[in-house]
Amino acid sequence: MLIKRANDLRDHDVTDYALYQKRREFLKLLGGATLLSTSSPSRAGLFSNDNNDEITPFSDASSYNNFYEFGSSKSDPKRFAQSLKIKPWSVTVDGACAKAGTYNLEDLLGPQTIEERIYRLRCVEGWSMVIPWNGFPLANLLKRFEPSSKAKFVRFETLSDPAQMPQLKDELLPWPYVEGLRMDEAMHPLTLIATGMYGKHLPKQNGAPLRLVVPWKYGFKSIKSIVRISFVEQAPRTIWQKVAADEYGFYANVNPAVSHKRWSQKKERRLGEFFKRDTQAFNGYAEQVASLYKGMDLRVNF
Ligand code: MTE
């Protein structure tokens, strides 16, 4: 990889990365081509690079996963998610918007320009990684559906197909996997739809063909393999709230000052490191996102 360091992305650094500007190239990508080649344009200077996080090796990021539809141990998703059929793929858009409908993946992604964003991912369980995602701002997608003023939240749903997802036959979790964001969080420039990582297609275990990435929130908000996007008036009840609302709040902003009911969130273990490091407020993205929560008690809205 050309980039060795993680960046702290600022709004003005959200530069369109011209990897796949031509639609034809993009369609090639959908057809199975590898994204980055050694002839890719240099990425130097596109992002601020003021922190020293090392990028997590691809082999770790693609083999140590949470994707409970395929099992509850970290190695299960890589092993069992290969049965996921990602072609054809469609996403149903409904609720408070003018352009509701069922869209096939190519139509959804075709107009988007893919950028690279290097983000920290902090799991609520206390581990973290640094991942170079390939994707585009969720806002660019949502705007196309012309949400109305009634759209206060966005609800996301993962595919739930017991024929492809072995754990759906068990009652491990109240399927389908559902997550949600407030509209302003969804439209924030840091909020990404990822279609790839490390310059490759998104591995199935990481949520192919499209997943959410919200870097200032605990990883469970970053819902995988999305099949439905709904514009709603009320905060959707998420899968983890159904499991334990007192442990997994709707906001789930990374916050070392608010412990999980059963463990502290002050520290985290970066994959591959021995010593724990301090967890940062909003996972280090406070400068960009803290204003979204002005006046809110983050102990109550955890
Ligand atoms: N999305 C679905 N559909 N199912 C899941 O089990 N796990 C979440 C999130 N998205 C999950 C999901 C959790 S708990 C985390 S930490 C991240 O995915 C992990 O993403 P990764 O496996 O790509 O690192």
* DSSP states along the chain: ----B-----GGG-PPPTTS-SHHHHHHHHTT--S--TTSPP-TTSS---S-PBPPPHHHHTTS---GGG-SSTTHHHHHGGG---SS-EEEEEESBSS-EEEEHHHHHTTPPPEEEEEEEE-TTSEEEEEEEEEEEHHHHHHHT-B-TT--EEEEEE---TTT-GGGGS-SS-SSPEEEEEHHHHTSTT-EEEEEETTEEPPGGGTSS-EEE-TTB-GGGS--SEEEEEEESSPPPPHHHHHHTTTS-SS-B--TTS--SSS--SEEEETT-SS-EEPPGGGGTHHHHGGGGTT--TTT--
Instruction: For 139, list phi and psi in degrees, rounded to 5.
Output: -55, -40
Q: To test ligand 1's pocket by mutation, which of 59, 216, 222, 254 has the most ligand atoms within 8 angstroms of CB?
A: 222
Atom of ligand 1 lying closest to residue 77 CA: 22
In a domain, 270, yes or no: yes
Atom of ligand 1 lying closest to residue 65 CA: 22
Closest by Cα among 212, 233, 237, 102 to 158: 212
**What pLDDT does residue 32 have?**
33
How far apart CA 114 and CA 88 sit, in angstroms, is: 20
Instruction: Compute the distance from residue 98 Cα to the ligand 1 centre, in Å.
Output: 30
Range of the domain at 55: 17-293
What's the CATH number where 177 sits?
A: 3.90.420.10
In a domain, 8, yes or no: no
How far apart CA 138 and CA 190 sit, in angstroms, is: 9
In a domain, 5, yes or no: no
In a domain, 91, yes or no: yes
**Nearest residue (CA) to ligand 1, atom 19:** 66
- pTM (two decimals): 0.86
**What pLDDT does residue 51 have?**
66
**What pLDDT does residue 25 have?**
46
Instruction: Compute the distance from residue 5 Cα to the ligand 1 centre, in Å.
Output: 23
Domain count, the chain: 1
In a domain, 233, yes or no: yes
Residue carrying the six token digits 């090392």 = 54
**Pocket residues for ligand 1 (CB within 6 Å)?**
65-69, 121, 123, 158, 177, 206, 219-220, 222-225
Instruction: Compute the distance from residue 63 Cα to the ligand 1 centre, in Å.
Output: 12
In a domain, 11, yes or no: no
- Please state whether 65 falls in left (phi above 0), alpha (psi between -120 and 50) or beta: beta
Instruction: Compute the distance from residue 108 Cα to the ligand 1 centre, in Å.
Output: 22
In a domain, 28, yes or no: yes
**What pLDDT does residue 88 have?**
97
Per residue of the chain (302 residues), what is the pLDDT tens digit? Answer: 122 334 444 433 333 333 333 333 443 443 333 333 323 333 332 333 346 789 999 999 999 999 999 999 999 999 999 999 999 999 999 999 999 999 999 999 999 999 999 999 999 999 999 999 999 999 999 999 999 999 999 999 999 999 999 999 988 899 999 999 999 999 999 999 999 999 999 999 999 999 999 999 999 999 999 999 999 999 999 999 999 999 999 999 999 999 999 999 999 999 999 999 999 999 999 999 999 999 999 999 99
Instruction: Compute the distance from residue 223 Cα to the ligand 1 centre, in Å.
Output: 6
Q: What is the largest CA-CA distance in the chain?
A: 51
In a domain, 7, yes or no: no
**What pLDDT does residue 288 have?**
97
Instruction: Compute the distance from residue 67 Cα to the ligand 1 centre, in Å.
Output: 5
